[in-house]
Structure 1
Amino acid sequence: MAGNIPIKLEGVALYIEGSDNDFATGDITLPSLTPLTSTVSGAGILGELDLPSPGHYSSMELGITWRTINKYVFELAGSQMKGLEIRGAFNEFDNTRSAFVTRAIKIVVRGVGKGVDLGTLAVNAATDTTNTIEATYLKIFIDGASVFELDKLNYISRINGKDDMFDVRKALGKA
C-alpha cells in the first residue's frame, strides 16, 4: 500500500491576517461545513430527496479557546470584520520511503465576533476563555494548493479547483 499515513498535528500558529506575530496560546475549533439542502418530491420520485444546494452552507462558527484572558480576546470580540490566518504542520508517515514527513496546512478566515465566554477564574488553572467568530470567508491550503474556498458574500465556492458558483455569478453579472 503506497501513500502517506496521517499521524497528528505537530504544531499550530494563529495570526491576525497580514501580521507575522503569532498570538495563539489556546486551541482552535474549526467550522463545520454543512451544506444547506432542499427537499424535492413529486412525480417520478419515490418519496423525497434532500439535495444539497451547491455553494450554500449553514452558519460557520470558528472558536478560539485561550489559556487566559488576554487583549486578543477583546480584539476579536467586536462586530467589525476580522482576518485570521491559521498555520499548521501535520506529521505523516510516508510509507513509500519509510520516513516521517511534514505537510503544511494554512486556513484563512474572515468573519465577525459573535461572542465571548470569559471562562472561569480558578487558582492554578486555565480560564478557558472562548471567542466565537462567524466566518463569512474560509480558504484552506494543503501544501500550498487551494483545496477549499467559500466566500459567502461574493458567491464563491470552490472545492479542489471546481467552481460551483461560476454559472450563478455569470447569471448575476458578477463573473
Structure 2
Amino acid sequence: MSNPIPERVVNYNVYDDTDKLVGISGEITLPNFEAMTETISGAGIAGEYESAIPGHFSSQTIEIVFRVLMEKSFSFMKNSGKSLVLRAAQQSYDVAQGKTQHRPLKITIRYQPKGLNLGTLSVGGMTESTNVLEVLYIKIEENGKVMLEYDKLNFIFIVDGVDLLGEIRRMI
C-alpha cells in the first residue's frame, strides 16, 4: 500500500505557448479561488451566512516576476491570446516503499494582461519586474490526471472529474 508524504516542488519551467521563458525569479504567485457569495438572512434563519455561487469566483490573477526588466515583460502586455504553461516536478516520499518519488504537474493558463510593475533599478540588483495577468482559464493536471479545469468564459468548472456546472449549463 502506497503512503506518500508530499514534500516539495523540485523545479519548474514556464512556457509561453511553446517558448521556454528565461529570467524568471524563483516564485510565481498562482491564482486564488475565492467564491463569489451572497449574504443570506431572514425569517427562520438564526443570523446570517455566506452562500457561495457555484462555479463563480472573484477576479483571479497570476504574477510572474522576472529577475530583470526584459522584452518578455512587455510582450505579456499585448493580449495575443497565448497560453502560459507551467511544468513542475513534485516530490514525495513513499513510506511503504521507503523511497522518494516524483510526479509531473502541469498548469495551463489563458489570460489577459492586467498590469506591469517595472520594479526597481539598483547597482548589482535585480529589478524584479512583475507581470500581473488576469486568469480566464486554468487547467491543473497531476501525473496526467485533470484535477481542476475552470473556464470563466465558457461556464466550465470541473473538479476531480466532476463537472460542477454541467447541470446548470444545461438549464440555461
Please tell me the TM-score bracket, short chain as reference: over 0.9
SS of the residue corresponding to residue 74 of structure 1 reads helix
Name the CA distance, whole Å, in 2 between partners of 1:80 and 1:90: 30
TM-score where L is the length of structure 2? 0.93
Deviation for aligned residue 1:44: 2.8
CA–CA distance in structure 2, aligned partners of residues 161 and 39 of structure 1: 30
Aligned-partner Cα distance in 2 for 1:9–1:132: 22
Equivalent residue of 2:69, what SS? coil
Please tell me whether the aligned partners of residues 2 and 97 of structure 2 are also in contact (alpha carbons under 8 angstroms): no
Equivalent residue number for residue 23 of structure 1: 21
Structure 2: distance between partners of 1:47 and 1:2: 45
Instruction: Indicate the RMSD between aligned Cα atoms, in angstroms.
Output: 1.5
Can you give the 5+ residue segments of structure 2 that lack an aligned partner in the other structure? none
In structure 1, the partner of 2:149 is: 149
Aligned pairs, number: 170
CA deviation profile, 1:63-89 (whole Å, cap 9, x unmatched): 000011112111111244331000111
Matched, 1:122 2:122: yes
Please identify, of 42-51 and 89-98, the stretch whose mean Cα deviation from structure 2 is larger: 42-51
SS at match of 1:170: helix
Q: Distance in 2 between matches of 1:2 and 1:110?
A: 35
Poorly superposed stretches of 4+, deviation over 4 Å? none
2: CA distance, partners of 1:43 / 1:166: 32
* TM-score of the two chains, using structure 1 as the length reference: 0.92
**Would you say the 8 A contact 2:93–2:99 is kept in 1?**
yes
Alignment of 1:7-156 (within 5 A): 7-17=7-17, 19=18, 21-24=19-22, 25-26=24-25, 27-156=27-156
